[in-house]
Amino acid sequence: WAIYAPYVRAINALKKERNAVILGHNYMTPEIYHGVSDFVGDSLQLAIKASEVEEDVIVQAGVHFMAETSKILSPGKTVLMPDMDAGCSLAESITAEGIDEMRAKYPGAPVVSYVNTTAEVKAASDICCTSSNALQIVNAMESDTVIMTPDQYLAQNVANESHKNVVYWPGSCIVHEQYTAQDLRDFREWNPGTRLIAHPECPPDVVAEADYSGSTSGIIKYVHDEKPEKAMLITECSMASNIADELPEVDFVGPCNMCPYMKKITLEKILYALHTMEGQVEVAEDVAEKARKSVQAMIDLSR
C-alpha cells in the first residue's frame, strides 16, 4: 500500500475539488477498488448508479463501453475515461451493421444486446442486458425467437435456461473463453472440496461443471452467503483479490485469467484524468437518444 498511498490521497483530494465520483467495476485492482472508488459493482449496478449521480464528473474505473453507458444515462455530466484504449473483445466483435445482418436473418425477432457493446450497437438494438439480468430480459420478450449479441456463450447459457429460441452473434470474452470444462475437472481433482464459481461469459460446458454461475456481483454475494472453505473464481483475477480481505475464512485458490483491458486503468491514469480533465467521453446525441432507450428499457425491466 505504501507505493499507492500518495496516489490514493491525491485522487481523493482532487475528487472533492472537481466534484467528481469514481465508479469502479469489480475487476479493478484492489488499490482502485478499495482506495479511490466511491461506488463499486457489476455492469448493471454501475449503469444504474451512473443514472443517479449528482456530482459534476464521473470517472469510469472500468472499460470504454461502461463510460459510454454512463454518458448515455447522464448526458449532462462530464465522463472521464482514464485510458481510451481500455476496450473489450465483446464490444469490438460487432458493429451496428452486424445488428442489421441479424435482423435480416431473423425477421421480426427482437435484438437483446449485452451492455458490452458500443453506443451505436446499443442504439441499433431493442433492449440491453447484463450478465445479471440476461435470462429475465430474454424471457420478457414477446417473440419466441430472440437475437442475443454479441456474446455467444452468455447467449448459450441463457438458452439452456430459457424456453426461447435464442440465436446469437459469435463474439466472446477473451478472459472467460479460455476456461475449459477439463480445467474445472482438473481444478476439482487437485483441490478437493473447492467451490467452483463461474461467470456466465464462460462456455456452457464450463458453467455446467461449476457449482454456481452469476454476474460479478452475483459471485461476490454467493461467496459472502456460502463462505466455502475453498473457492475458485472462474473469472477475472482481481475479483478474488478484492474480496479476500473481507472473507478471511475463505481460501481463494488460483489460477485465474487477467483482462488486459481492465488492467489498463491505473491510479496514475485516474489521477492524470482528474488533474487534466482529459479523456472526456462523448456520444453523439442522436445515437445517445436511441441507445438510452435500450439501456433504460433494461433498467426498467430489472427493477
Enumerate binding residues for ligand 13P (CB under 6 A).
26, 42-43, 88, 116, 130-132, 173, 201, 215-216
Q: Is 88 in the site for ligand SF4 (CB under 6 A)?
A: yes
- Nearest partner of 177 among 151, 155, 159, judged by Cα: 151
Residue from 115, 124, 166, 259 touching ligand SF4 (CB under 6 A): that is 259
What is d(CA 256, CA 176) in angstroms, rounded to the nearest whole number? 10
Distance from C-alpha of 196 to C-alpha of 173, rounded to nearest angstrom? 19
34 is in an annotated binding site: no
Residue 242 near ligand SF4 by CB under 6 A: no
Size of the site for ligand SF4 (CB under 6 A): 13
Please indicate if the annotation marks 88 as binding a ligand: yes
Q: How far is CA 300 from the centre of its chain?
A: 18
CB 149 within 8 A of CB 294: no
Asked whether residue 37 is marked as a ligand-binding residue, the answer is no
For residue 255, say if its preceding peptide bond is cis, omega within 30 degrees of 0.
Answer: yes
What does 4 interact with, of ligand SF4, ligand 13P, none (CB < 5 to 8 A by kind)? none
Q: HSE-up of 189 (CA within 13 Å, CB side)?
A: 6
Q: Which of residues 1-30 bind ligand SF4 (CB under 6 A)?
A: none
Examine residue 203 and say whether the peptide bond preceding it is cis (omega within 30 degrees of 0). no
- Nearest-approach distance from CB 10 to ligand SF4, in angstroms: 27
Find which of ligand SF4, ligand 13P, none residue 288 binds, CB within 5 to 8 Å per kind.
none
C-alpha cell at 33: 477498488
Q: How far is the CB of 87 from ligand 13P (least distance, A)?
A: 10
DSSP secondary structure code for residue 280 in this structure: B
Told to check if 233 binds ligand SF4 by CB under 6 A, we report: no
- The span from the CA of 232 to the CA of 34, in Å, is 21
Q: Is 148 in the site for ligand SF4 (CB under 6 A)?
A: no
Binding positions: 25, 43, 88, 114-116, 131, 173, 199-201, 216, 259
Residues in contact with ligand SF4 by the rule CB under 6 A: 63, 88-90, 116, 173-175, 201, 236, 259, 261-262
